Amino acid sequence: MRLWGFSALAALSALACLVGRANADLKGVFAHYMVGSMGSSDEAVKDVQDAKAMGLDAFALNVQDVSSGWSTSAIQMLFDAAATNDFKLFFSFDMAVLDQPSTFLPLFRQYQSNPAYYYHDNRPFVSTFDGGAKSFGASSPNAGWQSQFKDALASSGINPFFVPDFDDYGGATYDDAFFSNYPVVDGVFSWEAAWPQESEGIANVSSAKDQVAIQASHATGKVYMMPLSSLQFKHIDGGQNWYRRGELNLPQRIGQVLEVQPDFVEIITWNDSGESHYIGNCWPEAIAGAPAIQAYSNGFDHTAWQAVLAPFINAYKNGAKSISAVTPFGEFAGAFWYRTLLASASCSGDSLGRPDGAENAQDLINIAVLLPANTSGVTMNVYSGGNLVATLPTTAGLNIAAVDIKTGSQKVDLVDSAGSIMGSGSSTVDVAADTSGVCNFNYQVIHIA
Ligand SMILES: *[C@@H]1O[C@H](CO)[C@@H](O)[C@H](O)[C@H]1NC(C)=O
Ligand SMILES: *[C@@H]1O[C@H](CO)[C@@H](O)[C@H](O)[C@H]1NC(C)=O
Ligand SMILES: *[C@@H]1O[C@H](CO)[C@@H](O)[C@H](O)[C@H]1NC(C)=O
């Protein structure tokens, strides 16, 4: 019987009040959310509801501005939306932009008591982007964070659970030396481990740094938050024009999360259209002042990745250790994604030219398909440039595949053992060999439905 009577519910909520936030689970899954100007509270509500529907626990709100009206009103709309939809939020202070903790302490004090603020171990969760090299006038970054952040809050009885991304601290990994030099942290988040570096060439993402970080963090009783992302493509100006491999990065990283078994996972990102790794909506006014970003993100919807991520989140929370256990909610789920330009494109009409790292791109249709435990005889039929180019077998769980892409239209069909099409997805934008316009290495993500 899975029905709850009224009294059981009442007892549960009484218990919830008593326990408060003390027993928040590990295995929270979050998405990094760029706070920018927000046109209306409807957008906040839609983002929160979409995120909750795919099984996310919270948004990590990237805050770069603690006082301008566009920022504080977006934050308030998001907290209102989260509170009414039983969703959570925590701050990820962007220390590449903010000077010092005293800048953001008032905002944090204000919201840490909000019912929608995310707590772990009875403590309000706080993360950062960078900040591992800033000392704020103290003798070391650790001393600076201790005095200006933790001690400054302790006087008001606030004890944040601090899981920063300190990738700028100067070391190659979060090893034992890091944890002995940074006792101020309660755990770490390793932003850069989400993709291979450009300098690695045509390499797949590695979990070597995650393995070091989880061992060293657990050895000191701390937590490890692992990043999960799709790609990086930024094409804004001469200093911000790069490609970090997308290809199969996302599903390969899903497999690594299940092997590493981190305490928390943060998806990079919900809505950073500037770096092309969004999985949620990008609202028009957020990038209204950024025509360069519009030029490579408008019409490049990534929400189909949610169809793959939602069953993954469920599997991770239920203890799955490998991709074979990532099964769909129904008969199948899936997406494929591709770049609309071949890697050899000259992009001679684009003043920014080809992105750094373009030579690491591969001309592939990348596919992730989820099938149930009792699946049998299903094939993935891949069409590129109008022709059937591959018929691939499948197995239970997450199937990861890539097939050489040709110019023109793209399609993937899922065909059952009787020869019937169970699901299908078709490209909305053709692949071209070159362009006189924007040198766009962003991905088209197509839902197989
Ligand atoms: C993310 O969404 C929020 C809410 O609409 C918006 O304020 C922000 O600018 C968006 N960021 C990007 C990069 O689109
Ligand atoms: C990356 O992963 C794909 C899929 O498993 C594999 O075919 C390819 O050989 C790998 N590439 C490298 C450079 O290891
Ligand atoms: C697979 O199992 C599900 C229940 O988990 C069932 O509904 C479905 O009919 C089964 N499919 C096959 C091909 O046996």
Q: What is the tens place of the pLDDT at every residue in 336-359?
A: 999 999 999 999 999 999 999 999
Boundary of a domain, candidates 288, 321, 354: 321
| Of 38 and 154, more confident | 154
Residue 392 lies in a domain: yes
Q: Let me know whether 206 and 63 are in one domain.
A: yes
| Joined tokens for residue 178 | 């890091």
Boundary of a domain, candidates 321, 353, 384: 321
How many angstroms separate the CA atoms of 321 and 324, rounded? 8
Q: Let me know whether 218 and 314 are in one domain.
A: yes
Q: Let me know whether 188 and 152 are in one domain.
A: yes
| Joined tokens for residue 14 | 């009484």
User: Which residue lies with its CA nearest to atom 3 of ligand 3?
Assistant: 374
Residue 310 phi/psi, 5-degree rounding, is -60, -50
Whether 286 has a pLDDT exceeding 90, the answer reads no
Boundary of a domain, candidates 293, 321, 349: 321
- What is the CA(258)–ligand 3 centre distance, in A? 25
The residue written with tokens 């991304």 in the block is 165
The CATH number of residue 199's host domain is 3.20.20.80
Whether 19 has a pLDDT exceeding 90, the answer reads no
How many angstroms separate the CA atoms of 325 and 321, rounded? 7
Residue 382 lies in a domain: yes
- Min mean pLDDT across 286-300, 311-325, 363-377, 434-448 is at 286-300
CB neighbours of residue 416 within 10 Å: 16
Q: Is any atom of ligand 3 closer than 6 Å to the C-beta of 55?
A: no
Q: Let me know whether 65 and 208 are in one domain.
A: yes
- What is the CA(420)–ligand 3 centre distance, in A? 16
Whether 2 has a pLDDT exceeding 80, the answer reads no
- What is the CA(372)–ligand 3 centre distance, in A? 8
Q: Let me know whether 209 and 143 are in one domain.
A: yes
Q: Which residue out of 240, 271, 272 has the highest number of ligand 1 atoms within 8 Å of its CB and is therefore the one to mutate?
A: 271
Whether 300 has a pLDDT exceeding 70, the answer reads yes
Mean pLDDT computed over 406-431:
98
Q: Let me know whether 136 and 203 are in one domain.
A: yes
% residues pLDDT > 90 (the chain): 91
Q: Which residue type does 430 have?
A: D
Closest ligand 2 atom to residue 204 Cα is 1
- What is the CA(284)–ligand 1 centre distance, in A? 9
| Of 184 and 14, more confident | 184
Q: What is the pLDDT of residues 56-74, one digit of tens each?
A: 999 999 999 999 999 999 9
Whether 166 has a pLDDT exceeding 80, the answer reads yes
Whether 432 has a pLDDT exceeding 60, the answer reads yes
Average pLDDT, the chain: 93
pLDDT of residue 285: 67
Q: Let me know whether 258 and 358 are in one domain.
A: no
Q: Let me know whether 147 and 235 are in one domain.
A: yes
Q: What is the number of domains present in the chain?
A: 2
How many angstroms separate the CA atoms of 440 and 350, rounded? 10
Mean pLDDT computed over 302-307:
98
Residue 427 lies in a domain: yes
Mean pLDDT computed over 386-406:
98
User: Which residue lies with its CA nearest to atom 2 of ligand 3?
Assistant: 374
pLDDT of residue 17: 37
Q: Let me know whether 345 and 307 are in one domain.
A: no
pLDDT of residue 21: 41
Residue 13 lies in a domain: no
pLDDT of residue 39: 83
Mean pLDDT computed over 90-111:
97
Whether 24 has a pLDDT exceeding 60, the answer reads no
Q: Is any atom of ligand 3 closer than 6 Å to the C-beta of 374?
A: yes
pLDDT of residue 240: 96
| Joined tokens for residue 352 | 């920014």
How many angstroms separate the CA atoms of 233 and 215, rounded? 31
Q: Is any atom of ligand 2 closer than 6 Å to the C-beta of 404?
A: no
Closest ligand 1 atom to residue 271 Cα is 1
Mean pLDDT computed over 255-268:
98
Whether 136 has a pLDDT exceeding 60, the answer reads yes
Residue 110 lies in a domain: yes
pLDDT of residue 290: 86
Residue 10 lies in a domain: no
- What is the CA(412)–ligand 2 centre distance, in A? 21
pLDDT of residue 15: 40
CB neighbours of residue 75 within 10 Å: 23
Whether 401 has a pLDDT exceeding 70, the answer reads yes
pLDDT of residue 9: 36
Q: Let me know whether 291 and 343 are in one domain.
A: no
Whether 138 has a pLDDT exceeding 60, the answer reads yes
User: Which residue lies with its CA nearest to atom 10 of ligand 3?
Assistant: 374
Whether 3 has a pLDDT exceeding 70, the answer reads no
Burial group, residue 135, by CB count within 10 angstroms (0-12, 13-18, 19+): middle
pLDDT of residue 283: 75
How many angstroms separate the CA atoms of 115 and 119, rounded? 10
Residue 83 lies in a domain: yes
The CATH number of residue 358's host domain is 2.60.40
Q: Which residue out of 331, 370, 374, 376 has the highest number of ligand 3 atoms within 8 Å of its CB and is therefore the one to mutate?
A: 374
Q: Which residue out of 204, 252, 365, 392 has the highest number of ligand 2 atoms within 8 Å of its CB and is therefore the one to mutate?
A: 204
pLDDT of residue 383: 98
What three-state secondary structure class fits 261? Answer: coil
Q: Let me know whether 396 and 306 are in one domain.
A: no
Whether 174 has a pLDDT exceeding 50, the answer reads yes
Whether 422 has a pLDDT exceeding 80, the answer reads yes
Q: Is any atom of ligand 1 closer than 6 Å to the C-beta of 280?
A: no
Residue 4 lies in a domain: no
Residue span of the structural domain in which 439 resides: 331-445
Q: Let me know whether 297 and 338 are in one domain.
A: no
Q: Is any atom of ligand 1 closer than 6 Å to the C-beta of 38?
A: yes
